[in-house]
Each structure stands twice: as C-alpha cells, then as structure tokens.
Amino acid sequence: MKRLSAVTMVGVGACLLMGAADGSWLRRVPAGDHVRVSPLADQKTAAEAGSHVYAAECSHCHGAQAQGKGSRPALISARVSGASDGDLAWLLRNGNSWKGMPSWSSMPEPERWQLVAYMRSINLPAAKPVEGAAQ
Ligand code: HEC
C-alpha cells in the first residue's frame, strides 16, 4: 500500500512537470478552425519566409532549430506534424497564455500562415535512407 502511494506520487509529480506541453490545446480548436486550409499551401516560398519570422519571434523560446527549450516544446514532433494547418493557425492566433504560449493575433495573418508553412516544412517525414548508402 505504501509502495503504491509512493508510485502514485511519482506519477503525479511527473505529470505536473510534463504538464507544460501536453497538447491539450488541440481539444479546444473549434471544428471550423481545425479544417481550415492554408491559403499559402501552394506557395513554395511561404516556408522560407516563415523561417525568418520564426527566427525573429519564436526561436528564443522554441530553440533555433525548433528543438525545444526547457518547458517549451520542440516544434519538430509527432504532435505538430499531426496537427492540421488550421490547428496550428488557431494556436498562433489564440496562444495558450496560461501555459506560456503567447497569442500572435497582432501579427499579420499571412505571416502566421508562413509560420504554419515553416512548421510543416521542418516536420516532413524523414527521407528514406538511400539504398546501398552506409548506415
Ligand atoms: C515566450 C515563449 C514562447 C514564444 C515566444 C513562442 N512560444 Fe510557442 N509555446 C510556448 C509554450 C510554453 C508552449 C506550450 C504550450 C502548451 O503546452 O499548451 C508553446 C507551444 C507551441 C506549439 C504547440 C506545440 C505542442 O507540442 O503542443 C506551437 C505549434 C508553437 N508553440 C509555435 C510557436 C511559434 C510558431 C512561435 C512564434 C510565433 C511561438 N510558438 C512562440 C512558448 C512560446
């Protein structure tokens, strides 16, 4: 019994520590936003433009390579790649301020879509190893 409660405590503690970025924001995205498609989806230059916005506005929290920093999650992740364009755009507009993600509603909307394009570009599935190449 004692052991069980110690295990429970450790579990609760781990949840509190990791609770900073649990993806719960995804459940708050309204259906209409979830299905939004980026107006820049066909623009090849959007991701490149977004990388500059990212470097200026986001890298100090999420890391220069979007690798994450402390409680600020990496943006190269299954969660980000699994989120729709609309989900990401919704989070950028609304933020999740009580967990430390600011709202970017004052940023021009095209720049927010450029950021979405950038996040997409860094989350492309890893290229398959070339056949015959050294592992
Ligand atoms: C002040 C620090 C800070 C800045 C600046 C910031 N973020 Fe965040 N961001 C966070 C935190 C903290 C979270 C975790 C929030 C949560 O768990 O809901 C987060 C979450 C996210 C997520 C969701 C990731 C996930 O795994 O759930 C995305 C996407 C994101 N940020 C993109 C951006 C982009 C793009 C910018 C630049 C416009 C940016 N952030 C700027 C702190 C920041």
What residues form DSSP beta bridges with 96?
101
Question: Does residue 34 lie within any of the structural domains?
Answer: yes
Query: What pTM does this model have?
Result: 0.84
pLDDT bracket for residue 16 (50, 70, 90) = very low
Asked if residue 39 belongs to a domain, the reply is: yes
| CA-proximal residue: ligand 1, atom 21 (nearest) | 101
The reported pLDDT for the residue numbered 44 is 87
Q: What is the pLDDT of residue 5?
A: 59
- Asked if residue 85 belongs to a domain, the reply is yes
Higher pLDDT, 73 or 13: 73
In this structure, is residue 11 part of a structural domain?
no
Q: Which of 50, 46, 38 is nearest to 87 (CA)?
A: 38
Residue 71 lies in a domain: yes
Q: Count Cβ atoms within 10 A of the Cβ of residue 29 and give its class: 0-12 exposed, 13-18 middle, 19 or more buried.
A: buried
Cα angle: 14, vertex 59, 96; to 5 degrees:
55
- Summarised one tens digit per residue, pLDDT across range 22-79 is 999 999 999 999 999 999 988 989 999 999 999 999 999 999 999 999 999 999 999 9
Would you state the structure tokens that stand for residue 132, as one six-digit string? 């015959």
CATH of the domain at 98: 1.10.760.10
Surface-to-core class of residue 90, CB atoms within 10 Å of its CB (0-12 exposed, 13-18 middle, 19+ buried): buried
- Residues framing ligand 1 (Cβ under 6 A): 20-21, 23, 25, 57-58, 61-62, 71-73, 75, 77, 79-80, 88, 91-92, 96, 99-102, 104, 115
> Residue 39: which residues within 8 A CB-CB, separation 6 or more?
110, 113
* First-to-last C-alpha distance (Å) of the chain: 49
Q: Is the pLDDT at 134 greater than 80, yes or no?
A: no
Ligand 1 atom showing the smallest separation from residue 79 Cα: 26
* Model confidence pLDDT, tens digit, residues 106-123: 999 999 999 999 999 999
Q: Residue 115 is part of which domain span?
A: 30-122
Nearest CA to ligand 1 atom 42: 101
User: How many domains does the chain fold into?
Assistant: 1
